[in-house]
Structure formats: C-alpha cells, structure tokens
Chains A and B, each alone.
Chain A
Amino acid sequence: MGDRPRKVLLIGYGNPGRLDDGLGPALAAEVEQLDLPGVTVDSDYQLTVEDAAAIAQHDAVIFADAAVSGPEPFYFERIEPKPALSFSSHSVEPTAVLALAEELFGSSSPGYCLGIRGYEFNEYDERLSERARVNLAAAVKFIISVFRTGNFDKVAAEHQSWHRRPAGEPGARAACTASSGDA
C-alpha cells in the first residue's frame, strides 16, 4: 500500500484490568483524543467477529495489542488474512478477522499489527507498568508518524528490517497471534 489509505481503522484491544494487557486500549484512548482525520478508533477486551464488518468499511486496519515478548518498545508489521476453523468470543485473532472481512464482506483492506511490549500481566490491577508506559509513549509517537507519512507497507518493512526479524519467525510476534487476556 503506497498511498495513504483514506479511511483507517485502529483497534486497540486487551484487558485494562490485567496491567500491561491494557496497552492496546491505552494506545487507542490516546490516539482517539487526537481526533486524526480519516482515522476511526475502536477498543475492546478482545477482537470479535463483527470487527470484520467494520474492517470492510475502511481502507486499512491496524490492530494494537500488548506483546508479552519480542522487541522493545514495539513492533509494526503487515499481517495477512488466515481463516480460523473455530471462533469464540475469547479468542479471535487479527488474521482470522481479516479473513472474515475478506470472505463475508469482500474486503481487501490490508492489516497491520502494532505489538507494544508489556511486562506485567498476571495481576488484577488497572495500571501500566513503568516500562510499559515508556513503550506506550514511543508507540503513540510512532503511530502518529505512520498516519502522517501514510505508506504503511514501507514503514512496516523498514521496521521489520530494523528489528532484523524475518516475517513469521516463530516467537517473533507475541501480540496479534492470540487473545492476550480477556475480561
């Protein structure tokens, strides 16, 4: 995708009640406040099948999630549709939602994953760890620049190169591959 997509959907997901798992919604909240033109912001505990309908109404979608491992402060990469055999409300993966958007609504909108590195997940508390907050700030700054420059694929390729991680490398994507906690 070379030109800036006209309508972009940003979905920040995770459970703010599980510490750093709230990084996705926290990013969504910060970006929403900026009221960026052409950017629709949504947040939820986890992805759901109806997100497919929303994706089909946009030119691109960015999934923002907490990453339990992987590069700091975040990674950004293109993801491809991958149908899932089964859904539950607890675990719909971004690749599966993209596939649903394609199959049910004829969408060809590209998807991107922004995985923000978190560190603390196993307590019931509504706060981000100190290090996660630093990563969040970097991710917000980054995503604003992505929206401004507009060439999502180029940015994703550069970012991947920067982290020297081959696409799809096992363990490279800790976010955007599984529900990272639910309510």
Chain B
Amino acid sequence: MVVAKNGLKRVVIEPVTRVEGHGKVTILLDEKNKVQQARLHIVEFRGFERFVQGRPFWEVPVLVQRLCGICPVSHHLAAAKAMDRIVGGENLTPTAEKMRRLMHYGQTLQSHALHFFHLCSPDLLFGFDADVAIRNVIGVIAKFPDLAVQGVMLRKYGQELIKATAGKKIHGTGAIPGGINKNLSIEERDGFLKDLDQMVEWGRGALKVAKDYTVEHLELAKEFAAFPSSHLSLIREDGAMDLYDGGIRAITADGEKIFDHVAPEKYNDYIAEEVRSWSYMKFPFIKSLGPEEGWYRVGPLARVNTCDFIDTPEAEAARKEFMAVTDNKPNNLSLAYHWARMIELLHSIEKIKDLLHDPDLQGTDLVVKGERRGEAVGLLEAPRGTLFHHYKVDENDQVTMANLIVSTTNNNEPMNRAVDSIARKYIDGKEITEGLLNHVEVGIRAYDPCLSCATHALGQMPLVVELVDCEGNVIDRRSK
C-alpha cells in the first residue's frame, strides 16, 4: 500500500485469482480508508479482429478458436453461424443443427462445471474470508472429495461430447459454413448414453448445492453486489431459453421489455460500445438508453431472467423456484449467478439427453448452401453470455472486417459496479486484509469472466488488486 502526500491510497489486487483471465482491481482510498473509487481493469490487449482480416472466410470458424482455450467451441460456433449466412446456408439440415447444439451443450456443461466445482466452490463452501490456506481447491478436495470428482467427471463428459462433435480438441473442424462435417455414430451415441444417468444425478446435486447456498444466504446475497440492471440474451421465438439461436431480448431491472426478438444482424441498431481510457475492455450499452443507463447483464442470470420458460422439465421447475425468490421479477443479485448457472448446467444435460435419443444425429445430409452474402452476423449464448461475431467478406472470399463483442465484455459495467459496491461495503474504513479483498474477487467470480477473451488476447490471465493514491502512486498490491 502506498500513501501519497495528499493522503489518498490505492490498493491493487493483481492477479484476481480463480477467474479465467488476467486483470486487476484498483481501489482508491482516502486518509481514513474511505473508498473513493474501485475499478476492474483489463491489462492486456492484442487485437484479434485485425488478425482475421485477409483470411478466407471458410477458415474463420477454425481460426477464431485461437481466441480462447476456455471456450473455443463458442467462438467456433458463433463464427460458423455468421459464415452460414455468408454462404446462404443459415437454414441448416436437422443433422447439422442438432450436431452443433450437442457440441454447444457439451461446451456449456464443461464450462459451468469447472467454474462451479473448481473456481467458486471454495468461497461458497468455506466462506469468503475463511483461512486462505483452506479456501482453495485443495481444501475442497480434502473436505468434499465427491464434489471435486463430480466436477472433473462432468467436465470430462462435456469435453468428450465436444471431441465427438467437433472432431478434435485442437482447432475443431466440426462446424463448417452451411453445416457440419460429421454426424454422430451409433457407437459414439451409445458411449454417451451409458454415462448419462450419472450426469443427470450429479447435475441435480450441483443445482441443489447452488440453490441451498443462495437460499440460506439470501440476506447476504441481497447486500452483496446486488443492484438493478437491464438483462440481455437470445430468446427463442416462443420465449423459451435458447443457448444456440434466437432473437435478442433486453429487459429492464423490473422485467419490462426494452426490445424483443431483434434479428442478430440488426444488433448494431440496438447495441453500441463505449471506450474508456483506463481499460482495454469496451463498455457495451443499449443505444436507446445511452451509455449511462444502457448497460446490462448477460450470462446465466440474465438468461434465466429474460426467458419466459425453459423447455426441459427439471430446469423449468428449478427456474420457477428461482424466480419465486424475487416474486417472479428479474433477479438482480450477483451471487444468484451461481444458482442460475447450475440451472443451465442441468438444462444442458437434459438437452444432451434429448439430442442423444434423436435419430437425426445419425443423418447424412450435412451441408446446405444458398445465395452468397458479403456481410453476416452470428450470435450465440456462450457459457458466460451473449457472444457477437460480425464479418464482412469481399468478392475474393477474404474477410475485410471483423467485430467481436465477447460475453465478458457485455458484463464489463456490471462487474465494475460489483467491484465498486463491494469495496464500499466491505473495505471502506477498515484495515485491508486478504479476506476482505477476496470479497472483491468473489464478486468478480460470480460473473465467471474470461478476461483474456474480453480483450481478444492470447495468453495467461491472472488478476491483480491495487491500492493507489489520488496522484496515481501504487500503495499496496495483492498478487496471488
């Protein structure tokens, strides 16, 4: 911690741990340790959009997987959806669409499992300010070994689904413009069916842990980074949650629709991005509300809030319980992300079950094409939230423009609000301790950010917290 002549101090948390990415938090304090300002900064930037310029469009679904080792499948599918429109093949064959959906639900399952069981569970199981020596994944393994094994095995199941549908783990080639390049064999299907009931059971168990935690700590959740916001996600035509496709719906903190069923290619008419000097991550907002009021949440919490229903029975029953907590109004509690995420985990398993029993997965009609276009947008609900891919392609089939708004970028403002809210509530006027600073990290972790993706960077991404004086001098720094 550094104290400047004017008495203001800055605390730095760097890196923020147990998140996917590299960022830092700075907390500005006055001489009485009163919080003046707290921000989440993204500290690494390499432009990826420029990299894909000049490349043939059919390479893009494979190329974009280099964006992120966490959710390459989400980028693969979002790019493929855009390229479907480039080749006029957006009306996929049943086999192609169902294979892609199977890949996507596998991705959601493995991503949510890793986050819940291995990144955030130490905070929930031991407490935010428990001894750091036990508040970690080793502590979870020691005290809750079954839970730790379930996390690994759920993730493994999802990864194997990805391998079976994308073809391979590195640079998967499953989704191609206008379709898919393989179906699912009977042998592959039977292999997955064999373990499915176990996955359902573990999914139910994980949902119960998340629900019980939230209900038992509801008073805490109502005070911990809880603030009203708009919510945004894709939505199916009939209002059902749809993680793979649909129109864009945005609602207010009270549940009023701001816009609904907006076609993905029209996103630019409704969403804009603001640049701020202190972060490489942009700040998207709803144009009609402006940058001050137009920020919104995405991801599991937003999706459960925006949808009218979930089309799988157990997840729908869980959604109803979830919504009942806030009298069927949108839930604006950051800590409720965990419960919503586990509803989606169980929903993904239910969808996988439906798909595995669908004979269309063994179909052989894999690709369609139609009228060529020069510009296209592909949207997807990635595990962390809505993912936007926008491309222009010239007559030589080369990409001339790419714009990506990744899930975590959409949550930039809410994560910053969470950091500021937690700092003011828990750190203000107190002596700084690791446990107090972990509260800030807990708030960020609830959003499951992938900070590398958010700046389109390639590399490791730990997080840092800094305490700084008003002249910019760093007075304390936490780096784990």
Which A residues have a C-beta under 8 Å from some C-beta of B?
A: 15-18, 25, 42-46, 48-50, 52-53, 83-91, 100, 103-105, 124, 178-179, 181-183
Name the contact of A183 in the complex, choosing from B17, B68, B141 (C-beta under 8 A): B68
With both beta carbons as reference points, the residue of chain A lying nearest to B157 in the complex is identified as: A50
Q: Is the CB of B461 within 8 A of A18?
A: no
Given B69, B72, B141, B452, which contacts A103 in the complex, CB threshold below 8 Å? B141
Q: Which among B28-36, B148-156, B205-213, B220-228 touches the partner chain?
A: B148-156
In this assembly, does B170 line the interface, its C-beta being within 8 Å of a C-beta of chain A? yes
16 CB contacts below 8 A, A to B, read A17-B66, A17-B171, A46-B69, A49-B152, A52-B152, A86-B480, A88-B21, A89-B70, A90-B452, A91-B460, A103-B141, A104-B145, A124-B51, A179-B460, A182-B69, A183-B65
What separation, in Å, do the CA atoms of A182 and B461 have in the docked complex?
10
Cα of A16 to Cα of B72 in the assembled complex, Å: 14
Contact B155 A181 (CB under 8 A): no
Smallest beta-carbon distance A99→chain B, Å: 8
Question: A88 and B148: CB pair below 8 A?
Answer: no
Q: CB of B98 within 8 A of chain A?
A: no
CB <8 Å contact, B170 and A45:
yes
Which of A45, A84, A105 is in CB contact (< 8 Å) with B169? A45
Give the residue name and chain of the B residue nearest to A89 (CB): B70
Which residues does chain B contribute within 8 Å of A83, judged by CB atoms? 138
A65 CA to B145 CA, complexed, in Å:
30
Q: How far is the CB of B75 from chain A (nearest CB, A)?
A: 9
* Given known contacts A100-B152, A182-B68, A182-B69, A86 and B136 CB-to-CB distance under 8 angstroms: yes
Chain A contacts for B452, CB-based, 8 A: 90, 182
> In the complex, how many angstroms separate the beta carbon of B315 from the nearest chain A beta carbon?
24
Are A49 and B114 neighbours in the complex by a CB distance under 8 Å?
A: yes
Closest residue of A by beta carbon distance from B149:
A104
Q: Which of A49, A103, A179 has the most CB of B within 10 A?
A: A49
How distant is the Cα of A72 from the Cα of B18 in the complex, in angstroms?
A: 35
Partner of B20, one of A17, A44, A85, A89: A89
Name the interface residues of B9-59: CB closer than 8 Å to any CB of A.
17-21, 51
A138 to chain B, nearest CB (A): 23
Q: Which residues of A contact B68 (CB under 8 A)?
A: 182-183
Encoded as 1 (CB less than 8 Å from any A CB) or 0, chain B from 162 to 192 comes to 0000000111000000000000000000000
A88 touches which of B19, B63, B170 (Cβ 8 Å): B19
Would A48 and B458 be within 8 Å (CB), given that A88-B18, A89-B114 are in contact?
A: no
User: Is B159's beta carbon under 8 Å from chain A?
Assistant: yes
Contacts of B480 in A (CB 8 A): 86
Bound-state Cα–Cα, A10 to B51, Å: 32
In the bound complex, residues from chain B placing their C-beta under 8 Å from that of A105 are 149
- Please measure, in the bound complex, the distance between the C-alpha atom of A43 and the C-alpha atom of B145, giving whole angstroms: 27
Looking at chain A's contact residues, the main secondary structure is: loop
Expressed in whole angstroms, the Cα–Cα distance for A51 and B461 within the complex equals 21
Do the beta carbons of A45 and B155 come within 8 Å of each other?
Answer: no
Instruction: Select from chain B the residue with minimum beta-carbon distance to A125.
Output: B51
Chain B residue total in the interface (Cβ 8 A): 40
Q: Could you tell me the distance in whole angstroms from the C-beta of A96 to the nearest C-beta in chain B?
A: 9
Contact: A183 with B72, CB < 8 Å?
yes
Partner of B155 from the list A50, A85, A91, A103 (CB cut-off 8 Å) is A50
* Interface check B118, CB cutoff 8 A: yes
User: Are B459 and A181 in contact (CB-based, < 8 A)?
Assistant: yes
For A17, what are the chain B residues with a Cβ–Cβ distance below 8 Å?
A: 63, 66, 171, 458
6 closest residue pairs by CB, A with B: A182-B69, A50-B156, A17-B66, A45-B69, A183-B69, A85-B136
Within 8 Å CB of B141, what residues of A?
Answer: 100, 103-104
- In the bound assembly, the distance between CA atoms of A126 and B212 in angstroms comes to 47
Complex interface: chain A residues within 8 A of B459 (CB): 181-182
Interface pair B152/A15, CB less than 8 Å apart: no
B318 within 8 A of A: no
With A and B bound together, what is the CA distance between A91 and B70 in angstroms?
10
In the assembled complex, the CB of A175 is this many whole angstroms from the nearest CB of chain B, namely: 14
In the complex, are the beta carbons of B137 and A86 less than 8 A apart? yes
Q: Is the CB of B458 within 8 A of A15?
A: yes
Q: Nearest residue in A to B63 (C-beta to C-beta)?
A: A17
Whether B152 lies near A183 (C-beta < 8 A) is: no
Q: B66 contacts which of A44, A48, A183 (Cβ < 8 Å)?
A: A183
B66 near A178: Cβ-Cβ < 8 Å: no
Residues 255-299 of chain B: 1 if any A CB is under 8 Å from the residue's CB, otherwise 0?
000000000000000000000000000000000000000000000
A162 CB → nearest B CB, Å: 31
Minimum CB distance partner of B160 in chain A: A50
Chain A residues contacting B20 (CB-CB under 8 Å) are 88-90
Interface presence of B248 (CB below 8 A): no
In chain A, what residue has the closest Cβ to B70? A89
Do the beta carbons of B155 and A48 come within 8 Å of each other? yes
Kindly provide the distance from the CB of A64 to the nearest chain B CB, expressed in whole angstroms: 13
Q: Is B470 an interface residue (CB 8 A)?
A: no
